[in-house]
Amino acid sequence: MKGRRTMSVEMNELQTLRHSAAHILAQAVKRLFPEAKLTIGPPIDTGFYYDFDVETPFSREDLDAIEKEMKKIVKENLKIERFELPREEALELMKDEPYKIELINELPEGETISFYKQGDFTDLCAGPHVRYTSKVKAFKLLSATGAYWRGDEHNKMLTRVYGTAFFTKDELNEHLEKLEEAKKRDHNKLGRELELFTTSDLIGQGLPILLPKGARIIQILQRFVEDEEQKRGWQLTKTPLMAKSDLYKLSGHWDHYKEGMFVLGDEEKDKEVFALRPMTCPFQYQAYLNRGRSYRDLPMRLNETSTLFRNEASGEMHGLIRVRQFTISEGHLMCTPEQLEDEFKGCLELVQYMLQTLGLYEDVSFRFSQWDPDNREKYIGTEEQWNEAQDTMKKILDHLGLEYKIGIGEAAFYGPKLDIQIKNVHGKEDTLITIQIDQMLAEKFGMEYVDRDGKKKNPYIIHRTSIGCYERTLALLIEKYAGAFPTWLAPVQLKLLPIADRHLDYTYEVKKKLEENGIIRIEIDDRSEKLGFKLREAQLEKVPYMIVIGDKDIEKGAVSVRSRKNGDMGSMPVDDFIKMIKEEIDTKQR
RNA sequence: GCUGGUAUAGCUCAGUCGGUAGAGCAGCUCAUUCGUAAUGAGCAGGCCGCGGGUUCGAGUCCCAUUACCAGCUCCA
């Protein structure tokens, strides 16, 4: 929390500038499109936006014209003045702006109703703003998209114009360059270029094909995760990918998650209807229910590398980050109330270890995802149950000293979550990992254990992932490392580059020796190309090590090593290189 | 699902006013056997996303559809 106050002051000045930029945008739109209706236009992390209700959405040409008009307004150096009005007069002033009237009517009694006026433009606004339009020197309009009024899909879709603004032109240009850089790191572009994955029109949306290199990385991650989970007392299950609707009716999915499921069959016509699983919970519960359990069986930690299917709406898919079929490092832990805190901590420690090893820990933030009491139909359970579950979770989080923000309405339908959030290269935040406490499903499924006192009780259940969903994690790793994976993760760890054909025999000898030492992700480039050409290609493929083999190396029984990161490392005995790379792989160096 | 945009060779892109398809890179063949980021020459490569329509004629115009991109909604 330290330092945040000073940060927020700096941010406020920038936000004020951007907020004023949004007003200048609205003024320009009103001048060029008088029939446009105003709604809201706040500053955001990366700039600002303003939502308009217009007959036809703005085209790129419209944006260019609007931007030109904005520059004029800046040049006019209009004074930005605040004034206040009583409610009646405020409504009269805004009589042609239905959205503003809606906003005014919602202001509580006694609230100040303030306006900001600059030249021919006046907007309902709490402020603050810069004093003159000329202060807004460095700005750019970026895009026009659709956005629902008040973020509700049942409302009308408005036209949102995004822009950004900075104090100086240099800062603006730097920001625009960063946006360009981000495009190059985008997993969806880089992942295809590096042949990690592809998609096919015939297979469909949200169903990526992992190519050999991408599948290799996921295999490495999966082995790492499963081994680490086993070390920490988790037991692997393999449960079916589909089940009868009966299972989901019991779990609550049928009532609360059916939209998100692929249902096989027709309830009207077929005797039995199946559905592909969107979550693993009810399946692993059946493993728990295999026989009667006692407190001696607890905690029971069940993990599974679990493929899930979710019928996401068509506009929601994105590369490997949002897909319809994915595989997750899933797990469910059944324990007694006394064990809950320690077990939760254990789950968190596993996650932290994973994220630290992958190098993603510095990029994540925590979110305590709670239910929305105003939206009861989204959830199972009673208010008492929710309050109890959230209190329990809050206590644990506070004991752990975690810094977190609260997400109202972000809970699962069966319980609150600790979500570990990460931003992609474009700044869009997604959940990477989740740890949840569930007091409701055990009861629904009749999961019990016999306690010391001989009484039957429902266990607490922790739902968790340890590395999250493999596809999404891979996406974040591609962006984190710009495709240059640490050697332990690299799909091809080294390339052997013989200079001429007469070096081939020795090259195969070196390959064999490496393989005998467990270094097996090797390629040989035996094409009759010049060394520089082979090196360039290997470098562009982001292979960690390039091993050059020529006369000098054969003479000395050595290899010439070039690292992706540091360039030419000179000649070294084969054994020395093996020792070096093994050490790097074994310690999972970044 | 909603709003907008895009779709031409494996990739990046050009293609004028509607007149029958073009480049660079990659690929293949040949020559070259080379020491730390591109050797040269030649060849081949296209149902212009898919389906309709308008037209004498459609890569180009219209409609529909699929996929991709940005955003909204939703979500791991």
Which residue's CA lies closest to nucleotide B1 at its C1' atom?
A313
Percent of chain A with pLDDT over 90: 79
Tell me what the mean pLDDT of segment A517-545 comes to: 93
Tell me the CA–C1' distance in angstroms for A219 and B26.
Answer: 29
Q: Which nucleotide is nearest to A205 (CA to C1')?
A: B67
Tell me the CA–C1' distance in angstroms for A67 and B56.
Answer: 46
Tell me the CA–C1' distance in angstroms for A322 and B74.
Answer: 11
Distances from the Cα of A323 to the Cα of A77, A144, A196, A199, angstroms:
49, 25, 16, 11
Tell me what the mean pLDDT of segment A359-386 comes to: 92
Q: Which nucleotide is nearest to A559 (CA to C1')?
A: B35
Q: Is the pLDDT of residue A129 over 60?
A: yes
Q: Which nucleotide is nearest to A500 (CA to C1')?
A: B33
A493, A521 contact by CB (below 8 A): yes
Tell me the CA–C1' distance in angstroms for A52 and B3.
Answer: 12
pLDDT score at A427: 87
pLDDT, tens digit (0-9, with 9 covering 90-100), for A178-199 = 888 888 889 999 999 899 999 8
Distances from the Cα of A354 to the Cα of A228, A329, A474, A485, A492, angstroms:
9, 11, 13, 16, 22
Which residue's CA lies closest to nucleotide B66 at its C1' atom?
A201
Pairing outcome for strands A494-498 and A43-44:
unpaired
Which residue's CA lies closest to nucleotide B26 at its C1' atom?
A537
Tell me the CA–C1' distance in angstroms for A361 and B60.
Answer: 51
Tell me the CA–C1' distance in angstroms for A61 and B21.
Answer: 30
- Whether the full predicted model's pTM is greater than 0.80, yes or no, is yes
Which residue's CA lies closest to nucleotide B40 at its C1' atom?
A529
Residue recorded with tokens 């499903």: A441
Q: Which nucleotide is nearest to A321 (CA to C1')?
A: B76
Which residue's CA lies closest to nucleotide B71 at its C1' atom?
A145
CB atoms within 10 A of CB A2: 6
Q: State which amino acid sits at residue A206.
A: G
Q: Which nucleotide is nearest to A553 (CA to C1')?
A: B35
Q: Cα separation of A278 and A324, whole Å?
A: 9
pLDDT score at A505: 93
pLDDT score at A107: 86
CB atoms within 10 A of CB A136: 26
3-state SS assignment for residue A529: coil
Nucleotides of B under 7 A from a protein CB: 1-5, 31-39, 49, 66-76
Tell me the CA–C1' distance in angstroms for A39 and B73.
Answer: 18
Tell me the CA–C1' distance in angstroms for A164 and B18.
Answer: 41
Q: Is the pLDDT of residue A307 over 60?
A: yes
Tell me what the mean pLDDT of segment A507-530 comes to: 93
Q: Per-residue b/e over A237-263, b at no fewer than 16 CB within 10 Å?
A: bebeeebebebbeebbbbebbeeebee
Tell me what the mean pLDDT of segment A508-518 comes to: 95
Q: Which nucleotide is nearest to A530 (CA to C1')?
A: B34
Tell me the CA–C1' distance in angstroms for A233 and B74.
Answer: 35
Q: Is the pLDDT of residue A4 over 70?
A: no
In the structure, what pLDDT confidence band is assigned to residue A3 with cuts at 50, 70 and 90? Answer: very low
Q: Which nucleotide is nearest to A411 (CA to C1')?
A: B75
Which residue's CA lies closest to nucleotide B3 at its C1' atom?
A146
Tell me what the mean pLDDT of segment A420-444 comes to: 92
Tell me what the mean pLDDT of segment A92-105 comes to: 91
In the structure, what pLDDT confidence band is assigned to residue A5 with cuts at 50, 70 and 90? Answer: very low
pLDDT score at A460: 95
Q: Which nucleotide is nearest to A534 (CA to C1')?
A: B37
Tell me the CA–C1' distance in angstroms for A152 and B69.
Answer: 23
- What ipTM was estimated for this complex? 0.92
Q: Is the pLDDT of residue A1 over 50?
A: no
Tell me what the mean pLDDT of segment A417-443 comes to: 93
In the structure, what pLDDT confidence band is assigned to residue A270 with cuts at 50, 70 and 90? Answer: confident
- Locate A160 and state its tokens: 């949102």
Q: Is the pLDDT of residue A2 over 50?
A: no
Tell me the CA–C1' distance in angstroms for A202 and B68.
Answer: 13
Sign of CA dihedral A278, A282, A284, A286: negative
pLDDT, tens digit (0-9, with 9 covering 90-100), for A59-84 = 888 898 999 999 999 999 999 999 99
pLDDT score at A200: 87
Tell me what the mean pLDDT of segment A345-352 comes to: 96
Distances from the Cα of A356 to the Cα of A321, A363, A426, A589, A590, angstroms:
20, 10, 22, 11, 10
A229, A346 contact by CB (below 8 A): no
Tell me what the mean pLDDT of segment A252-270 comes to: 90
Q: Which nucleotide is nearest to A537 (CA to C1')?
A: B37
In the structure, what pLDDT confidence band is assigned to residue A11 with cuts at 50, 70 and 90? Answer: low
pLDDT, tens digit (0-9, with 9 covering 90-100), for A465-512 = 999 999 999 999 999 999 999 999 999 999 999 999 999 999 999 999
